[in-house]
Amino acid sequence: MPATRPLRVVQWATGAVGGYALRSVITRPEFELAGVLVYDQDKVGRDAGELVGVGEAGVACTDDVDHVLALDADCVLYMPLPASYFGGDPATDVETICALLLSGKNVVTTTGFVYPQAYGPGVVDRLETACARGGASLHGTGINPGFMSDLLPLALSGLSTRLDHIYVRETSDYRGHPSREIVTDLIGFTREPKDYAGTVRPFRAFQRSLFAESVQLVAAALGVRLDEIEETDEYELAGEEFEIAAGTVRPGTVCASRWMFTGLVRNRPFMTVECVYKADARKVRRWAEPGFAIHIEGQPGMAIRVDEVTHGLAGAAAHAVNSIASVCAAPPGIRTILDLPLATGRGTVRLA
């Protein structure tokens, strides 16, 4: 039988998640790097492999969108921070993704879109039209959402004869996250309480849309019609000064936050996603310790816990990269986790 050719992949953005994805694309033999789009002018012209410390890859980074759209490629890993993250128009990401799909490239993204139907028929129609015209597919994924808050609860539900409530909790420790742009300017850590509400307004909108997708995906998969999705959030103030990678947390400034997203049916919670973020989990005792937890209330009741994911950003990137082959093989259209085989790390196993 003839050998299967490597899938040609474009890496769009090389930040915290994109860098991990780019490294995998370069080093895994089933892929061929077709191009890299960057936003930082200091990265333009640099070799993609040298950028992520794996040696020369022979592909120079570019900021030319038209050049990327014209490339011959099977898939684009679209991994910028979402426009809504910065308070921009969320339609910007839809427009870019549609352009990529129309150019004939499948798109795997970590900017949301795990369940685009959550944004209404207008967005879905635009994406489906672009998929049909370009003969391509769109798949949104990640670690949470994309795995912990949707794939795992649905897998566990297969053991249930009755579901009363699904609860998912994520607690993340940001003490080692180096980006002040994310830790301070978006999440709001180190901010005075009087400045916090204004600082996190874009982040609040992003969180609401992202986890509403996840909750609606699970509900739709289980045949449940939600009446609404309720969101609440609160924060904790530091009692002492301490250092994190992104800066100094001073007494009286925000050092943690807790977000709750609940899908309601007849005023009763059907699914709840709790997200706890801590500037340094060793300094913040309130709320749960880092890790993931899933509780299924019903018959039977179940609970699982993932105590640690050592590199969450790497996990998000891996779930996207491991989805490429299935997305490229799928018929054109929006492809959620319900439409694709389980993404595994086959082909990446390294045994001593």
C-alpha radius of gyration, the chain, whole number: 20
Q: What is the pLDDT of residue 39?
A: 93
> Are residues 121 and 107 both part of a single domain?
yes
Q: Which carries the bigger pLDDT value, residue 90 or residue 6?
A: 6
pLDDT-derived band at 132 (thresholds 50, 70, 90) equals very high
Q: What angle, 0 to 180 degrees and rounded to 10, lies between the N-to-C axes of helices 16-27 and 312-321?
A: 50
Is there a single domain that holds both residue 157 and residue 302? yes
pLDDT at position 350, please?
54
Q: Does residue 351 sit within a domain?
A: no
Instruction: Note the pLDDT of residue 352.
Output: 47
Is residue 290 pLDDT above 50, yes or no?
yes
* CB of 33 closer than 8 Å to CB of 48: yes
Q: Are residues 58 and 129 in the same domain?
A: yes
Please give the model's pTM, rounded to 2 decimal places.
Answer: 0.92
Q: 251 with 119, same domain? A: no
Pick the residue with more confidence: 13 or 87?
13
Within-domain flag for 342? no
Of residues 252, 14, 285, 261, the one with CA closest to residue 173: 285
Q: pLDDT band for 1, please (50, 70, 90 cuts).
A: very low
CATH of the domain at 25: 3.40.50.720
pLDDT at 13 over 50: yes
In this predicted structure, the answer to whether residue 346 has a pLDDT above a threshold of 80 is no
Please state the domain count of the chain.
Answer: 2
pLDDT tens-digit readout, 151-202: 999 999 999 999 999 999 999 999 988 888 889 988 999 999 999 988 888 8
For the beta carbon of residue 198, count every other beta carbon within 10 angstroms. 10
Distance CA 222, CA 214 (A): 13
Q: What is the average pLDDT across 235-262?
A: 97
Q: What is the DSSP string of 292-338?
A: EEEEEEEES-EEEEE---TTHHHHHHHHHHTTHHHHHHSPSEE--TT
Better pLDDT: 350 or 124: 124
Query: What's the pLDDT score for residue 254?
Result: 98
Q: Average pLDDT over the chain, rounded to whole?
A: 93
Are residues 282 and 172 both part of a single domain? yes
> Does some domain include residue 343?
no
Residue 179 has a pLDDT of 83
pLDDT digits (tens, 9 = 90+) for 308-338: 888 888 999 999 999 999 999 999 999 999 9
214 pLDDT band (50/70/90 cuts)?
very high
pLDDT of residue 272: 98
φ and ψ of 204, to 5 deg: -65, -45
Q: Which residues span the domain enclosing 57?
A: 7-141+314-334
C-alpha dist (Å) from residue 284 to 154, 184, 311: 32, 17, 20
CA distances from 123 to 98, 113, 119 (A): 10, 10, 6
pLDDT tens for residues 56-92? Answer: 999 999 999 999 999 999 999 999 987 766 656 668 8
Residue 179 lies in a domain: yes
> What is the per-residue pLDDT for 80?
93
295 in the same domain as 163: yes
Per-residue pLDDT at 84: 66
**172 and 271 housed in the same domain:** yes
272 domain residue, yes or no:
yes
pLDDT of the residue at 347: 54
172 and 281 assigned to the same domain: yes
Select from 103, 7, 8, 107 the least CA-distant residue to 59: 8
Domain annotation covers residue 24 = yes
The answer to whether position 234 is within a domain reads yes
Residues 116 and 136 in one domain: yes
State whether 133 and 158 are in the same domain.
Answer: no
Distance CA 287, CA 254 (A): 14
Q: Is residue 2 part of a domain?
A: no
Query: Do 297 and 161 lie in a common domain?
Result: yes
Sequence length of the chain is 352
In CATH, what number is assigned to the domain containing residue 159? 3.30.360
- Shared domain for 157 and 286, answered yes or no, is yes
Q: Which two tokens stand for residue 90?
A: 């969320």
Supply the DSSP symbol for 74. S
Could you report the per-residue pLDDT of 37-53, keeping only the tens digit for each?
999 999 999 999 999 99
